[in-house]
Amino acid sequence: MSRISFLNGQFLPHENCMVHIEDRGFQFADGIYEVTLFKNGRLIDGDPHIERLFRSLREMKIEHNFTKEFITQLQLDLFAKNNMSEGTCYIQITRGMANRVPWVPKNLTPTISATVSLGKKMTEEEFEKGVSIMTHEDIRWKRCDIKSVALFASSFINQKAKDSGFDDAIFVRDGVVTEGTFANAFIVDANDTLITKAADNLILCGITRNRMIAIAKEKGIKVEERNFSVAEMLNAKEVFLTSSSLILRPATKIDGNQIGNGKAGKISRILLEEYKKFIG
């Protein structure tokens, strides 16, 4: 059976979901999105994801009449219609269709689409090995706190990393480590303190980021949300990335430098195991 997706009030075969050539999302990246993990019959941190989706809509000033209950039920219905017990749901809302003008039109009907996928599971061997990262100047706009569909800079640098023999990249702005191309960045210092950049306009405040911080505090791990440098990151005992799709992926080599002992560290293991308990 063909995958079922959602577009503007209809559940349709995935290949039949098409938008107008003058949709603002297509022509201006004028839209927002959200990705939520689904497992064991529930949306993992579903409410915080929806809260962030509505925040992004407010920040982009996209007018709509969607309710939180509608967004929740839409995701659950999609998984049911695709007979999936786990996976991720991608929801995208654009400002809608309008004649191509350089300003932001008012009173448009937003385009809403959603689709589900299984995603790739990380093996124990992949977790243990970790990923190889390069650092790169943060060339993105200064509203990274909005989960907008304007992702070319992140995608471009992610591909540049792969073309250069790395798995991913971590952005650096004015000497401060911000985040990965599609994930938040954490380090663990010599005293086992967990450190990540404070949530501001230069990073996306990840839902999985927030969950890992909460888990760390519950386990008695000291947490600091503050700026840190590339040098501090290279000297850390552990470095890892988090996102709803990655969950937690250790970075064991950065710019050719081995991090810690070159394998997944103690804090990374604790957080991943506790997160598995949370979703299970």
User: Could you tell me if 103 and 86 are in contact, meaning their C-beta atoms sit under 8 angstroms apart?
Assistant: no
Q: Compute the distance between CA of residue 34 and CA of residue 92 in angstroms, rounded to an integer.
A: 7
Residue of 39, 129, 142, 147 marked catalytic:
147
Q: Does the active-site annotation cover 39?
A: no
Q: Compute the distance between CA of residue 216 and CA of residue 222 in angstroms, rounded to an integer.
A: 7
Edge-first strand order for the sheet with 31-39 is 10-13, 4-7, 111-117, 86-94, 31-39, 42-43
Q: Compute the distance between CA of residue 148 and CA of residue 165 in angstroms, rounded to an integer.
A: 28
CA atoms within 13 A on the CB side of 79: 22
Tokens for 133? 């990262």
For the chain, report the end-to-end CA distance as a whole number of angstroms.
Answer: 28
Run of H or E residues at 268 = helix 266-279
Active site residues: 147
